[in-house]
Every structure is written in C-alpha cells, then in structure tokens.
Chain A
Amino acid sequence: MLEITNLHASVGDRPILKGIDLSVQAGQVHAIMGPNGSGKSTLSYILAGREGYTITEGAVTLDGRDLLAQAPEERAASGVFLAFQYPVEIPGVSNATFLKAALNGVRRRRGEKELDAMEFLKLTRVKCRQLGMTDEMLKRAVNVGFSGGEKKRNEVLQMALLDPRLAVLDETDSGLDIDALRIVADGVNALRGPDRAMLVITHYQRLLSYIVPDRVHVLAHGRIQRSGGKELALELEARGYAEFGVDEAA
C-alpha cells in the first residue's frame, strides 16, 4: 500500500535521507526505530508533505498514487494521517470545530457529502466510545492547556475520526508516563484494521510492548540499516544503537 523507493531528501544542502526503501502492506504495523538525528521525524514530515525538505531522488506512492506531488491537504484526503510528536495549539478554536472543518475538508476533496453538525456529533460519540474516551475534550480549544497525555489522546481521537489509510505516529510515546502510554496505545490498537497501515516511529522499545509491530526497521545515518520482526526491538533495547555506528552517550 505504501511504497517508498530509494528516497533521498535534504534540508538546504544537508542530506538527511540517503536512500530509503520501505514497503508497508494494508493491515500491517511497521515500527521505525533509530537514534536521535537519524532522520525519523524527517521521514514522517516528508510523508505528510511539510515544506522545507527537498526530495533529491526516489518516489513515494500510496495505493499506487504519487504522494510527493500532492499538497498536505490532498494527502490528508488520500488517507495520510500524521500523529504529531508535538501537537500544535490553536487558541480560541474548539476541537469540535477544528475536527468538523478537517473532516469536511477531506470529504469534500473525496467528493463525499459533508457532514452537518448533528451527523458529526453522532460520529464523534461513536468514536469516543470506541476509544473509551469522553467527548469532553471536543469542547476545549485545540490542544490549549492540554497535558502531554491529553495531547496524544487528542491525536488518537483525530485519527479515529479521519479514518486514515496510512497513520504515521511520530514519537507518540515521548513525554508520556506509563499510564498515559497505555491509554494512548490502547487507542491506537483499537484503530488497527485490515485496511489500514501504520508506521510507528520511536526511539525506545517500550511503546512497542503495547503496540506490537509486524516489522521493525532500524533507521540510522539516513538509511534503513536492518529490518526484522518484533524481536528486533527487544534486541535493540538490550544492545543500543552502537552497532550502527551511533554512540548514544556522546
């Protein structure tokens, strides 16, 4: 479903990604692990279409369609969802307003009927129940005054509503204590499904004890250095990233 072929990207003159190949099938969860500065966040931003990166070589397709040619909002309509490492605050705009605008923006682009206020409310209730959340969060301004855990739960709620083909979770575990981590992971697991692919980007293994991946890839120096099953994560936890030429202590 997601095909990344020989992807090279740089920021200014500095190459960050130096030839990534990755193929994720529908229904699969892949983890991308790697040390700081390996290009993990860059990869997630490039998939979502953030400005500031130059693609120097390679291709990315989702369901056979060229993703790189699309604007961020078009990618959202194609089914790309990025759960942000640092969700952004939008003062004065309620979550409900934001999500309804987002959902209808996506539906409009797909040529689907937009939801009115009632239909939207009904849908959010269903999704909240599915995730074991209250809809209290919908009334608050987007991420304003949210705790770290609330911000990440909000990302999961947004993901549930937008129902993406490809969900990219960027360092979803950062800043979470173990209870918050479990809640967020439960939410993500509830959204796993045969039609959806997930890319879980993380530095640490601990998230992967909760969101168990089908495949694990190690990203270092802008390339995927090794791929394996879920046991690879445990191995990394024990041995660190040293064998990939990265000195974490430095």
Chain B
Amino acid sequence: MTAVSDTIDQVKGLTDQKYKYGFVTEIESETAPKGLNEDVVRFISARKAEPEWLLDWRLRAYRHWLTMVEPGWAKVSYPPIDYQDAFYYSAPKTKAGPKSLDEVDPELLRTYEKLGIPLKEQELLAGVEPRIAVDAVFDSVSVATTFKAKLEEKGIIFCPISEAVANHPDLVRRYLGSVVPYSDNFFATLNSAVFTDGSFVYIPKGVRCPMELSTYFRINAANTGQFERTLIIADDDSVVSYLEGCTAPKRDENQLHAAVVELVALDRAQIKYSTVQNWYPGDEQGRGGIYNFVTKRGACRGVASKISWTQVETGSAITWKYPSCILQGDDSVGEFYSVAITNHHQQADTGTKMIHIGRNTRSTIVSKGISAGQAQNTYRGQVKILPKATGARNHTQCDSLLIGDRCGAHTVPYIESRNRTARVEHEATTAKISEDQLFYCRQRGLSAEDAVSLIVNGFCKEVLKELPMEFAVEAQKLVGISLEGSVG
C-alpha cells in the first residue's frame, strides 16, 4: 500500500487538533540581555567559550549587518521588525553541557517525546536497528544528540556545531561561511553574528552514512529569535541523508527564525537534505506565527557530486527561503523538490537558485504550491548558466493549486543563460480543486476535508515520494492538517 493511503486515516485521527505542537514547556532558561549590540555578540561567543577567530568572524558579520537593509523584493508583507526587541540567546539552564542523555533535563525529554521525537536511544536499541540519529535543538541550544558512538565507528562526525568548534576547529574554520559568506544577505549576516547552535556533520571519504541524520528544532521561549547554523560536509565518494523538522508553541506575537544551512559536497559525494517545516503558522486571523527567513545553500564542489533539497513547507506566518545549489564541479547535479502549503493568512515566497558553473551540470526543479484561505504563495526561482557551463541542462516544473477564490499563486522564474549549448526548460501550471473532483470523492464516501487532503496529496506526490520513509508519513499528515477549514 502506498504511503499516501495512510493519509486519510491519520487526518481522521487528528481532526480538531489544529496545531498540536502549540504547547509551551516550563523550563528555567538563561537568556542574554534583550536587544542586539556588540556586547550581546560577545556574550554569546563567551557562553560558548569560542576561539578568538570565531568571535572576530561574528563581529565582522555584526558590523557588516549594521550597514545592510532588510530585503524588500519578496512578495510578502509584514510590519517592520524591531531587532532590539528580541532576545538573541536563550538556553535551558543546566550545570555543564549534558554528557549523556541521562543528564538531560527530563522535562526536555518529555517535550521531545510529546513532539514524537525519540531521544532515548536505549529504547530504540533494545528493539530494532536504528534508522535515525537525532540532534535536538531547544531554543538556541543543542540538547541531545543520539547514536553518536555508533556513527563514530565509521568516522562520521554528528554533533552540535558549538561542540565541533571545540573538537574539530580545522574543519569548521575551513568550511564555515564558505558557501554562505557572512556578508551574504541581511538575514544570513544577522545569523553569522548571533548564531547559537545547530548541527555539524562530516562524512569521511568513501563512507555511506548508515542511518538518517536528523535535527529537530524547537523554539520554546517567548520573544526569542532562533538562529541556528548547520554545516554538512560530505567528503569524496560519501553519501548522507539529513532530515530537519521544526515546531514552535502558539504565541500571539511573531517570532523570528533566521537560520543558515551550508552544504559542501566534494568529488562524487551525495547529500540529500529534507525538511518538514511546521513552525507555528499563526491563527486563522493571521495573528502570531513564525517569520521564517532562512538561507540554505549547497556547493557541489566536486566532480559528479550531487545535492538534493526536498522541502515540505506547511508552517510559518511568512516563509522566505530559497535552498540553492552552486554546481561548480563538472557533471554535478542539483535537485530541488518543494511543496509549499499556505492557508488562512500565511505568506510564502520560496523557490531555489541553480547556478551552473561546471560543464555538463544538471538541475531539476519541481515545485508544488498550494494556496487556500487568503494566503499568498509565490515560487521564485533562478536558473543561471555561466559561460563555462557547456552542456548544462535544467528542467523546471512549477505547479500551483488554488483552493477557494481569495488566495493567490504566483510564479516568478529568472532564467539567465550565457552558454549557447545549455538547455533550460520551464513548465508551469495553475489549477483549482474542481467541484467535480470534490463531489466525486464525497459521493464515494469521503468527507470534504478528507477529499481535499487526498487530492492535494496526489498533487504533491512527485515531491513527497522524494522524502525518506520516516518523514513521508508525517508530511502527508501535515498536508491534510494544514488545509483544515479550507473547504465547506
């Protein structure tokens, strides 16, 4: 039975629980003083006992950020953000960093349990062969990483980035900011100045990572921005699949999430990066919700390397996100598979950039945008073929689905080809869920909501099938839940 078939059962079980991750955990935390200045940057760096070079890097980023203005080109609108009215560091209070899971605050473990994230590795170990190793980031700090030992046997490094700074400084120093420089854009630069934690992954030459690596992000504290930074390096001939999930409590005010993800794929290396983004989207009137302003970029540095982004974007009040590939190595491959669902007052401006530099580089873009309620959903994508990218190929497919007549779908492709041998294709469709489809489903016994969920899951199938099994079911479930109340 295909995974899609489970959707209906799950949606049924979840009716009436609109955003089930909206709870707050009562936990003591340590925060930096409110606002942003050089002292706060120094505070963060000191809390993490960082080396001098990293503090310098942060400060350069901060000073550069002061000269920048927030980008205004995306099709999203929101009141001005007061960057001085937020906390830039919040960490659950513990004595020292937890050495093992036994030392982690049980309240935190309970939070992750509630979220369905298994952190107790012994339970898993007792039963089946582990398939996922998890790094959990709570507010700004990584609280637990599972299966570290098992991964270390293969030479794989999977740890909080702050730990990597201490234990693998050469690797971090060599690659941090090498894909997304500190001066890249307003939000990435802000992140460079104040990033607190995130995951670090290094896969050595020739190693195929034996399990899915996963980070689960959770914003808990109020008025706190989350700025995590993820760095994944896949050395020659290695393979890794990485999953990212995110949730936040329901709050009336907006919260900023400005993350940076950098991927580096060396010769013949393959990185698959999957995201199920389910930040709190705000309520039906558009109050509250996360501002998700994220910079994600991968560099296919090596020949025949491959980076594949898969994202299912259902949450956030505003999504501003363009996971990209720089196809530097000859014969390298970039892929972007995206489902973006907006309901009520959500706004999403999301897409990708495929920069073809090397010869015979190939890229595929499949984007599925679904709008309901009064939401606005924009695909914005750039395909750029540089003069030396002889034989480069791109295929882009953008499909939009509208539910109701008050929402919007927009497709904004930018195509620039500077090599005559390149082949670039762009296809786009826009459709509505038809009355005929709905009636047909209902006549057969499906409720209107189940029918919408089924039709939308069918519409997204091409993208959902790219997700690792563990995530596919969650994603399908989300598709149904995010569209609740969109018909009838």
User: Which residues of chain B have C-beta atoms less than 8 A from A80's C-beta?
Assistant: 443
Bound Cα distance A79, B257 (Å): 51
Whether the Cβ atoms of A92 and B435 lie closer than 8 Å is: no
Identify which of B8, B444, B458 contacts A92 (C-beta below 8 A). B458
User: Which residues of chain B have C-beta atoms less than 8 A from A62's C-beta?
Assistant: none
- The reply to whether the CB of A72 lies closer than 8 angstroms to some CB of chain B is yes
Bound Cα distance A90, B460 (Å): 12
User: Which residues of chain B have C-beta atoms less than 8 A from A162's C-beta?
Assistant: 444-445
- The reply to whether the CB of A141 lies closer than 8 angstroms to some CB of chain B is yes
- The reply to whether the CB of A102 lies closer than 8 angstroms to some CB of chain B is yes
Bound Cα distance A87, B454 (Å): 17
User: How far is the CB of A176 from the nearest CB of chain B, in Å?
Assistant: 19
- The reply to whether the CB of B4 lies closer than 8 angstroms to some CB of chain A is yes
- The reply to whether the CB of A117 lies closer than 8 angstroms to some CB of chain B is yes
- The reply to whether the CB of B442 lies closer than 8 angstroms to some CB of chain A is yes
Bound Cα distance A80, B442 (Å): 11
Secondary structure of the A side of the interface?
A: helix
- The reply to whether the CB of A84 lies closer than 8 angstroms to some CB of chain B is yes
Whether the Cβ atoms of A88 and B440 lie closer than 8 Å is: yes
Identify which of B441, B460, B461 contacts A102 (C-beta below 8 A). B441
Whether the Cβ atoms of A48 and B443 lie closer than 8 Å is: yes
> Which residue of the partner chain B has the closest CB to A91?
B458
| Residues 453 to 467 of chain B near chain A (Cβ within 8 Å) | 454-455, 457-462
Identify which of A90, A97, A105, A121 contacts B445 (C-beta below 8 A). A105
- The reply to whether the CB of B52 lies closer than 8 angstroms to some CB of chain A is no
Convert B416-451 into 0s and 1s, putting 1 for each residue whose CB lies closer than 8 angstroms to a CB of A.
000000000000000000111101111111111010
| Residues 63 to 122 of chain A near chain B (Cβ within 8 Å) | 71-73, 75-77, 80-82, 84, 87-94, 96-106, 108-109, 114, 117, 120-121
> Which residue of the partner chain B has the closest CB to A114?
B9
Whether the Cβ atoms of A72 and B5 lie closer than 8 Å is: no
Most buried by A among B2, B7, B454, B458: B458
| Residues 1 to 49 of chain B near chain A (Cβ within 8 Å) | 1-2, 4-5, 7-9, 12
- The reply to whether the CB of A38 lies closer than 8 angstroms to some CB of chain B is no
User: Which residues of chain B have C-beta atoms less than 8 A from A101's C-beta?
Assistant: 5, 7-8, 446, 450, 454
Whether the Cβ atoms of A88 and B437 lie closer than 8 Å is: yes
Whether the Cβ atoms of A96 and B1 lie closer than 8 Å is: yes
Identify which of B5, B8, B439, B457 contacts A117 (C-beta below 8 A). B5
**Given known A72-B442, A93-B454, contact A105–B437 (CB-CB < 8 A):** no
Whether the Cβ atoms of A91 and B445 lie closer than 8 Å is: no
User: Which residues of chain A have C-beta atoms less than 8 A from B442's C-beta?
Assistant: 49, 71-73, 76
**Given known A93-B4, A94-B4, contact A82–B443 (CB-CB < 8 A):** yes
> Which residue of the partner chain A has the closest CB to B368?
A92
Bound Cα distance A92, B479 (Å): 14
User: Which residues of chain B have C-beta atoms less than 8 A from A98's C-beta?
Assistant: 441, 444, 454
> Which residue of the partner chain A has the closest CB to B5?
A97
User: How far is the CB of A114 from the nearest CB of chain B, in Å?
Assistant: 7
- The reply to whether the CB of A50 lies closer than 8 angstroms to some CB of chain B is yes
Secondary structure of the B side of the interface?
A: helix
Most buried by A among B9, B440, B461: B440
User: Which residues of chain B have C-beta atoms less than 8 A from A77's C-beta?
Assistant: 445
User: Which residues of chain B have C-beta atoms less than 8 A from A72's C-beta?
Assistant: 439, 442-443
User: How far is the CB of A121 from the nearest CB of chain B, in Å?
Assistant: 8
Interface size class of A (residues with CB under 8 A): 35 or more
User: How far is the CB of B139 from the nearest CB of chain A, in Å?
Assistant: 38
User: How far is the CB of A52 from the nearest CB of chain B, in Å?
Assistant: 8
Bound Cα distance A102, B461 (Å): 19
User: Which residues of chain A have C-beta atoms less than 8 A from B4's C-beta?
Assistant: 92-94, 97
User: Which residues of chain A have C-beta atoms less than 8 A from B437's C-beta?
Assistant: 88-90
User: How far is the CB of B452 from the nearest CB of chain A, in Å?
Assistant: 11
Whether the Cβ atoms of A51 and B458 lie closer than 8 Å is: no
Whether the Cβ atoms of B446 and A73 lie closer than 8 Å is: yes
Identify which of A50, A99, A100 contacts B439 (C-beta below 8 A). A50
Bound Cα distance A105, B5 (Å): 12
- The reply to whether the CB of A158 lies closer than 8 angstroms to some CB of chain B is yes
User: How far is the CB of A94 from the nearest CB of chain B, in Å?
Assistant: 6
Bound Cα distance A108, B13 (Å): 12
Identify which of B2, B435, B458 contacts A90 (C-beta below 8 A). B458
User: Which residues of chain B have C-beta atoms less than 8 A from A91's C-beta?
Assistant: 458-459
Identify which of A48, A96, A102, A114 contacts B446 (C-beta below 8 A). A102
User: How far is the CB of A163 from the nearest CB of chain B, in Å?
Assistant: 11
Whether the Cβ atoms of B445 and A100 lie closer than 8 Å is: no
Whether the Cβ atoms of A97 and B2 lie closer than 8 Å is: yes
User: Which residues of chain A have C-beta atoms less than 8 A from B457's C-beta?
Assistant: 92-93
Bound Cα distance A7, B448 (Å): 27
Identify which of A50, A104, A141 contacts B458 (C-beta below 8 A). A141
Identify which of A51, A71, A105 contacts B450 (C-beta below 8 A). A105
> Which residue of the partner chain A has the closest CB to B460?
A92
Whether the Cβ atoms of B9 and A104 lie closer than 8 Å is: yes
User: Which residues of chain A have C-beta atoms less than 8 A from B9's C-beta?
Assistant: 104, 114
User: Which residues of chain B have C-beta atoms less than 8 A from A108's C-beta?
Assistant: 12
Most buried by B among A76, A80, A92: A92
Bound Cα distance A32, B404 (Å): 36
Convert A136-159 into 0s and 1s, putting 1 for each residue whose CB lies closer than 8 angstroms to a CB of B.
000001000000000000000010
> Which residue of the partner chain B has the closest CB to A107?
B445
Whether the Cβ atoms of B436 and A102 lie closer than 8 Å is: no
Whether the Cβ atoms of A117 and B1 lie closer than 8 Å is: yes
> Which residue of the partner chain B has the closest CB to A45?
B439
Bound Cα distance A141, B444 (Å): 16
Whether the Cβ atoms of A93 and B455 lie closer than 8 Å is: yes
Whether the Cβ atoms of A105 and B440 lie closer than 8 Å is: no
Convert B393-416 into 0s and 1s, putting 1 for each residue whose CB lies closer than 8 angstroms to a CB of A.
000000000000000000000000
User: How far is the CB of A119 from the nearest CB of chain B, in Å?
Assistant: 11
Whether the Cβ atoms of B8 and A93 lie closer than 8 Å is: no
User: Which residues of chain A have C-beta atoms less than 8 A from B448's C-beta?
Assistant: 73
User: How far is the CB of A98 from the nearest CB of chain B, in Å?
Assistant: 7
Most buried by A among B435, B441, B444, B447: B444
Whether the Cβ atoms of A100 and B436 lie closer than 8 Å is: no
User: How far is the CB of B426 from the nearest CB of chain A, in Å?
Assistant: 20
Write 26 A-B pairs (CB below 8 A) sorted by A numbering.
Answer: A50-B439, A71-B442, A72-B443, A73-B443, A73-B445, A73-B446, A75-B443, A76-B443, A87-B440, A88-B434, A88-B439, A88-B440, A92-B461, A92-B462, A93-B454, A97-B5, A98-B441, A98-B454, A102-B445, A103-B445, A104-B8, A105-B446, A106-B445, A108-B12, A121-B1, A162-B445
Q: A73-B447, A100-B5 are in contact. List 20 more A-B contacts (CB 8 A).
A: A48-B439, A82-B443, A84-B443, A88-B439, A92-B459, A92-B461, A92-B462, A93-B454, A96-B2, A96-B5, A97-B4, A97-B454, A101-B450, A102-B444, A102-B445, A104-B9, A105-B444, A105-B446, A108-B12, A158-B444
